Structure 1
């Protein structure tokens, strides 16, 4: 599948940050977004809104859910803020559970969106969040909302989200799943998971670029929630143009807001559609290449070695040291990065065994 993507001459293993674009993305963007604008004398909004419908439909195929349960968002932080402010269950006495390993932006958004007096309780960084019993220990009866990242960017760990959602339901605790680091590479069936909410983006494994995030609502919540951050595209009929009448859209689009951005979704819908057709092929390919790293590096791979406990990213603490390894990788034109625990390496569908062997030669 290398031929389908725009690949650099470097060995690119930075897919936890930004996935590579499809070669067909440019022509699709011109046809779906630019052509209705450039080649017609009519206003392009109807054609542009069809892009959003395609985006929802592609997400529905990828995650096995109704397209109408997805709402476009500019980023995860915005989507999370809108959602938290719309939950009537949350008040000054509420307790929210997160992990100290969650992406900081999620913590920032949560802190500011919660009602004054509400408490965020963090699972300490040293806890192994791949283990169900750890979540069981912290997901106590007084937790009103649990926020879970399916995959953690700094450790390559994978949370047991199906078990966590079951624990949350038993406690009557609302659940939000963050799939920013897992969408595309870790298969997820939303109908089976039955979480309350999900937020995600398209920039990483889905290769859809920035600006095309999304919010998913369990169907049982759509009618009852009344978001405060609204605009004319949150309306059941955006083109009614009656300032005295507002009625929420009857789908997740009630969380949409004002005049929407469209261009990012033209790229993303095309890319998500591509990956929705792969099934679990990306996961199997990714794991095969990670297994090769583990086979050669052993305990230098500090992420879990169990496939059920690590994401599409592995963290490597090389014997030569992180800074030395980064320098040598740069000299060898291998694109990776590092965080507190070591090097981050993420092989995609367009990476192959030769890419991994090249990295191993440098690290050894």
Structure 2
């Protein structure tokens, strides 16, 4: 299952298990990037924008395949913080006095920073305490009170290896008239997500991790039912209904999610990302998830007390967190010496295998751990 994919990626060694941080690039990326970005610029005497903007179309089309959504509902973004800020500032409901946004203390800090600055000072950013089990729908149920205007939820949590119960959360949000926004930075490309079925109000994500596309190619998705309520403040000529109309006295929002786009767009990161996302979308998130979980199962079969992440498949993400107590530093040093790439956060060592990893990679990881714990 795994060996067929290794040949497609740039792998400096057999022990790269850091895919929750940065995924490895495809070998074909460099040539595709030259053809999509440099060739229109270098090889023609005409301006390249026509071909460059086709790159963006290809990027949003790739996203539509990956997430089973409509292409018109996706919009490129620089990063998740910017996307979140644009969404929050576009909604009248969140720009009135005493609006409430619910999120978890386990969310990535940048998301909290962005929300605190984007929301009016009279609004409340309310947290689910980090000690509670955010894989339990009842926890979300008990915190999603009638005064909550927006629930922010991470599909997967980077420091714990937990997966949020999206279907239940979104159902609760709809029942209580609450907007919903999901962050897929840690899940895109490794945990299936079907937008046509789940129907949140907003989605934000990036391409640097499991999608193996490098930084700079983030995106947002807007449910078409909520789009008419979105009046972005951070706009530019590509937010316009007709960017090439050039009438400074007449701004009209683009009729699709591209109203969130802004000024002159970057092209380079999306040329890389479109190619990589197509690759993974064609394989399918279900297959990617299967490969990842089989390798995590190998680790879980060998280790027990060290596992911090959920053991239940439906509650865990693509990352396994291992805790070795006082021996943590020793284990980390041994793994680094063996050229096995992992990292550590407050709860333990994070291990994230992708489809270009195989059981031999995991056995090597386990051998080093057993020899040094």
TM-score, normalised via structure 1 length: 0.99
Match of 2:216 among 211, 225, 231: 211
The one of 78, 88, 94 equivalent to 1:74 is 78
Whether 2:157 is the aligned partner of 1:152: answer: yes
Give the Cα–Cα distance (whole angstroms) in 2 for the partners of residues 224 and 306 of structure 1.
39
SS for the counterpart of 1:338 is strand
Aligned residue in 2 for 1:316? 322
Cα offset, 1:5, TM superposition: 0.5
Contact 2:107 2:154 in 1 (8 A): yes
Q: Which residue of 2 aligns with 1:236?
A: 241
Name segments (4+ residues, structure 1) moved above 3 Å: none
**Residue-by-residue CA offset, 1:138-192 (whole Å, 9 max, x unaligned):** 1111111100000000000000011000011111000000000000000000010
Q: 2:243, 2:111 → 1: CA distance?
A: 30
Alpha-carbon distance between aligned partners in 1 of 2:229 and 2:301, rounded to the nearest angstrom: 51
**1:105 Cα offset (Å):** 0.2
Equivalent positions of 1:107-186 (< 5 A) are: 107-186=112-191
Aligned pairs for 1:26-45 (under 5 A) are 26-45=30-49
Provide the C-alpha distance between the structure 1 equivalents of 2:214 and 2:225, rounded to a whole number of angstroms.
31
Q: Partner residue of 2:361?
A: 355
Counterparts of 1:207 and 1:32, CA distance in 2: 18
- 2:18 corresponds in structure 1 to 14
SS of the residue corresponding to residue 191 of structure 2 reads coil
Task: Quote the residue 1:340 is aligned against.
Answer: 346
Matched residues in 2 for 1:327 and 1:249: separation?
A: 52
Shift of 1:320: 6.3
Q: Number of residue pairs matched?
A: 364
The question of whether the paired residues in 1 share the 8 Å contact of 2:80 and 2:205 is answered with yes
Query: 1:224: how far off?
Result: 2.8
Q: Which residue of 1 aligns with 2:289?
A: 283
Residues 137, 165 of structure 2: 8 Å contact kept: yes
Residues 64 and 190, structure 1, Cα contact 8 Å, conserved in 2: yes
Residue 295 in structure 1 maps to residue 272 in structure 2: no
**Alpha-carbon distance between aligned partners in 2 of 1:142 and 1:221, rounded to the nearest angstrom:** 19
Q: Tell me by how many angstroms 1:77 deviates.
A: 0.1
The aligned residue for residue 223 of structure 1 is 228
- CA distance, structure 2, for counterparts of residue 299 and residue 100 of structure 1: 25
Tell me if structure 2 keeps the 8 A contact 1:320–1:363.
no
- SS state at 1:80 partner: helix
In 1, Cα distance between the equivalents of 2:267 and 2:332? 37
State the 1:299 CA deviation. Answer: 2.4
Q: Quote how far apart the aligned CAs of 1:237 are.
A: 1.1
Indicate if the aligned counterparts of 2:14 and 2:357 stay in contact, CA closer than 8 A: no
Partner of 1:97: 102
Residues 296 and 320 (structure 1 numbering): CA distance in 2 closer, same or farther, change over 3 Å? farther
- Shift of residue 256, structure 1, vs aligned partner: 0.3
Say yes or no: does 1:257 pair with 2:281. Answer: no
Q: Which runs of 5+ in 2 are unaligned?
A: none
Cα separation, 1, equivalents of 2:164 and 2:181 = 13
Conservation of the 8 A alpha-carbon contact between 2:66 and 2:277: yes
Q: Tell me if the contact between 2:292 and 2:353 (Cα under 8 Å) persists in the aligned partners.
A: yes
Distance, in Å, in 1 between the alignment partners of 2:57 and 2:150 is 30
Asked if the contact 2:91/2:229 (under 8 Å) is kept, the reply is: no
